[in-house]
A and B are shown apart, each in its own frame.
Chain A
């Protein structure tokens, strides 16, 4: 298992590099590129666009929640007369926006965007490979992703509106067009878009797995892999095992919708008519969905762990504390993530004993998660911390992960979940633990590896502004949101004014949340500006700006096919020799041979 040295792969890669030194056309270089570096940029920029769309959606519906029934030029500008008559968001579009916001954020930004970008960028670079195992399949994976994105967005323009049953699209609501307008064409597009998305994601994941297992350079044992690669590898494995189940869930739903089958439908009387469907179960869909859906949240958070581990260690100038424990906890989390899906279904009428089992498995996950947090903190302890924007975002990630992880212990406990299930408490919990944490890590990754992607530096000062305002607004949005939930405020409600119990301070909290959300949205302009401006006008990056140990910084700044002009680098040590006693510098790249008598970690 260890020391899978693959000289033949390395050699053929070398030949491949020589072979490709011819001039590329614009199309093969920027559009139908097989090159992992270019594909990672394609993923990243698509994700940034999708994130903007999803964020503007959240601002629109946040305005409605805080100021129900008021007219907003902002809302009207985006939605027009049909969905926002007189500038007031309509209730069917409200649900549609929430649904598409969630879908875009979870799948397109934090699955496609996060692991798509960083798996592509970092896996070949950090294991010392010339490219992915299959550049062609890698390219396809992006194009499926893009096609899925376009199809999802196109559903915003259909007559009956986009899917509106929530990002989990539970049937029968999602199966019966007569139950909600969004379950017409919009839902069909949603379902087919997801199939494309999953196809792309599977191609990507298989490629990542094969690449990590087979194309590691000489000396790169599994126990010398950076934690980013470990995290991305496990993410890919979880994805390969979980996503196909979503395909089957979606296919059965498509059949129920288009072919009159009854997988999820039984004994329904709707729009004045008794339907023919008998014998199906809506609960079956929930089991299938969450069998993917829960691992999905780990698909989102594992790369975030990888990135923050790498950044925190590098910028603290200290080895990550407990490298093996970190790998162990990543593995434990990945494994356990398949055994906990039922915690989303405590109040579906599920057998209480089964519920107990899911309580147990879910709370087990808290242990490796806690270990990770403690290890991050121990890494900071007595470090020599350089506060690059990436480091700030990584520390922010640990903090938000603590805040969100702890409320996980509440919602994992079935008895407590009875009260807070489907309230804003849950919304606050998952935004904190997977939304904000993963976005923070993604930002950290972008700031940290921008020089590696574009050969230029991003502006540090703007990074500081971006970080602090984002941190303040993230907490300003999601901490008060717990209160809304504990006050009994259900999620996916268009308007709370119908309830006397939701007045007074409840409204004030909602206003506060919305104002912070706007602040947080506006400050992303700083980031976007910094990002695009720096692509062309940023300072030229040096070879190894962060004095990092990993292999990506040994490749020349200029992009070239095959990554390294000469032979592939050889690895002699683990990636975390920072501030090692007896060394002159506070870092020792992985390519530096062990000194006589020096112990590898």
Chain B
């Protein structure tokens, strides 16, 4: 249907054009008109068109928000967002005044002063006072805009108070993963070389290093065996490729062993405070929850290319850059439930979307964000599986012992959850 419509528009447009051009040409030929001599009538018409267009343009400009204003985002759901929205309002007013003022002057003068024979334009090459005036006034207004803007910017980007909860937002083509700190309240170190199916973020622990090294050694052994077996039949280029692959794996092994040394030194130096000891109790999940009215610091990373964590309802955005961690402060103010009421939409969800082109499925790299009361958040958080169950890294732990540990963990969790539910009830 629409295809048809568009085709019709195209064909009609084309025909109209050709007709018009013939007509225009014939008439000007017939009347001996010169293209460069524009008669007063035409100038008047163009002038009137300037007025008409200016008026329609500005009215349309005013009408659009009335008609389409509902596409704008709902009220900001974070303190940062509130500041940004306020700043938008301030700027819109200034820009609106300038926009209407300049456009009215432009279209009005254009229509008013069309060419009439016998009239001469006013000789007015410059006026220093006027020019000074319209240099100084914009400067003053801009100073206000800048001061307001930087003030908000400084607040939004201020360093977090110590003890703020960190949440990792981890991106890769084409999905998001989240990591919450465990009991120690700290996110542990990660390393991209440790990434495997079981360890999607590459969290560094004794166990993950050991497992990764074992896996890599196995890969090397397999590759070598394969190469030896088929050395005769493989073409030279393939052999070279295989050898390079093996070399690459060996480099990886070497680097991971280096990492292990580093880790051991750090643990020796810092003991319990070593960042390498914080990873085991982290919680890795595909779900994104945040407690309302709580300052959190999102630590944003990427595994492969640049992505961008964009939370339009929070007016928040930060790029995810491979090789570094970027940080973004967020203090949400409206729970998902409340927002459902506000927007009168029971299916409403906050969305985290990717906003930096990252590949062919960039347009669908999204995750819902649930903002809930701190109590509900805690309940949800406690139920998350812990990355490495304590004790399970000891290979010689007896099954029985393991069972008891996990039992104690369970009761502990249940207790905490109850307590959390209590606070939840209180806060409601």
Question: Which residue numbers of A lie inside 8 Å of B, CB to CB?
Answer: 63, 67, 70-74, 91-92, 95, 164-166, 170, 172-173, 176, 179-181, 265-270, 274, 276, 280-283, 316-325, 347-349, 352, 355-356, 359-360, 363-364, 366-367, 370-371, 373-378, 380-388, 392, 395, 398-399, 402-403, 406-407, 409-410, 413-416, 418-419, 421-423, 451, 457-462, 464-465, 468, 471-472, 475, 479-480, 483-484, 486-488, 490, 492-496, 498-501, 504-506, 508-509, 515, 518-519, 522-523, 525-526, 529-530, 533, 538-539, 541-542, 545-546, 576, 578-581, 586, 601
Q: Mark B196-215, 1 if CB is under 8 A from A, else 0.
A: 00000010000000000000
Q: Return the contact of A347 from the options B42, B114, B318 (Cβ within 8 A).
A: B318
Interface residues in B65-84 by Cβ distance below 8 A to A read: 67-68, 70-73, 80-81, 83-84
Indicate if the CB atoms of B359 and A386 lie closer than 8 Å.
no
The answer, yes or no, to whether B340 is at the interface (CB within 8 Å) is no
Q: Mark B129-146, 1 if CB is under 8 A from A, else 0.
A: 011001100110010011
A87 to chain B: closest CB distance in Å?
8
Indicate if the CB atoms of A166 and B322 lie closer than 8 Å.
no
Indicate if the CB atoms of A579 and B321 lie closer than 8 Å.
no
Which residues of the other chain, A, contact B268 by a CB distance below 8 angstroms? Answer: none
Indicate if the CB atoms of B35 and A347 lie closer than 8 Å.
no
In Å, the complex CA distance between A374 and B138 comes to 11
The answer, yes or no, to whether B383 is at the interface (CB within 8 Å) is no
Indicate if the CB atoms of A180 and B360 lie closer than 8 Å.
yes
B299 to chain A: closest CB distance in Å?
11
A359 to chain B: closest CB distance in Å?
6
Indicate if the CB atoms of B9 and A518 lie closer than 8 Å.
yes
In Å, the complex CA distance between A479 and B114 comes to 28
Indicate if the CB atoms of B91 and A67 lie closer than 8 Å.
no
Indicate if the CB atoms of B106 and A399 lie closer than 8 Å.
yes
Indicate if the CB atoms of B21 and A323 lie closer than 8 Å.
no
Q: Return the contact of B21 from the options A63, A462, A515, A522 (Cβ within 8 A).
A: A462
Q: Mark B107-127, 1 if CB is under 8 A from A, else 0.
A: 101100111100111111111
Indicate if the CB atoms of B359 and A406 lie closer than 8 Å.
no
B94-102, B177-185, B395-403, B406-414 - interface stretch:
B94-102
Q: Could you list some 5 contacts between A and B, CB below 8 A?
A: A74-B7, A267-B323, A384-B121, A519-B13, A522-B17
Which residues of the other chain, B, contact A419 by a CB distance below 8 angstroms? Answer: 81, 84, 88, 312, 315, 317
Q: Mark B301-332, 1 if CB is under 8 A from A, else 0.
A: 00111101010110111110111101100000
Indicate if the CB atoms of B106 and A321 lie closer than 8 Å.
no
In Å, the complex CA distance between A526 and B23 comes to 13
Indicate if the CB atoms of B248 and A276 lie closer than 8 Å.
yes
Indicate if the CB atoms of B202 and A418 lie closer than 8 Å.
no
Chain B: interface residue total (CB-CB under 8 A): 128
Task: Name B's interface SS.
Answer: helix
Question: Which residue numbers of B lie inside 8 Å of A, CB to CB?
Answer: 2-3, 6-7, 9-10, 13-14, 17-18, 20-21, 24-25, 28, 34-36, 38, 42-43, 46-47, 49-50, 53, 57, 60-61, 64, 67-68, 70-73, 80-81, 83-84, 87-88, 91, 94-95, 98-99, 102-103, 105-107, 109-110, 113-116, 119-127, 130-131, 134-135, 138-139, 142, 145-146, 149-150, 152-154, 156-157, 172-173, 192-193, 195, 202, 248, 251-252, 300, 303-306, 308, 310, 312-313, 315-319, 321-324, 326-327, 347, 349, 351, 353-364, 366
Indicate if the CB atoms of A460 and B123 lie closer than 8 Å.
no
Indicate if the CB atoms of B315 and A418 lie closer than 8 Å.
yes
- Extra contacts, 11 of them, besides A170-B306, A384-B113 (Cβ < 8 A), are A95-B360, A268-B303, A269-B202, A371-B135, A371-B138, A380-B109, A421-B355, A422-B356, A460-B28, A493-B363, A545-B35
Which residues of the other chain, B, contact A464 by a CB distance below 8 angstroms? Answer: 46
In Å, the complex CA distance between A538 and B10 comes to 26
Indicate if the CB atoms of A73 and B7 lie closer than 8 Å.
yes
Q: Return the contact of B134 from the options A319, A374, A506 (Cβ within 8 A).
A: A374
Indicate if the CB atoms of B326 and A415 lie closer than 8 Å.
no
Indicate if the CB atoms of B126 and A321 lie closer than 8 Å.
yes
Which residues of the other chain, B, contact A316 by a CB distance below 8 angstroms? Answer: 113, 121
In Å, the complex CA distance between A480 and B318 comes to 26
Indicate if the CB atoms of B321 and A500 lie closer than 8 Å.
no
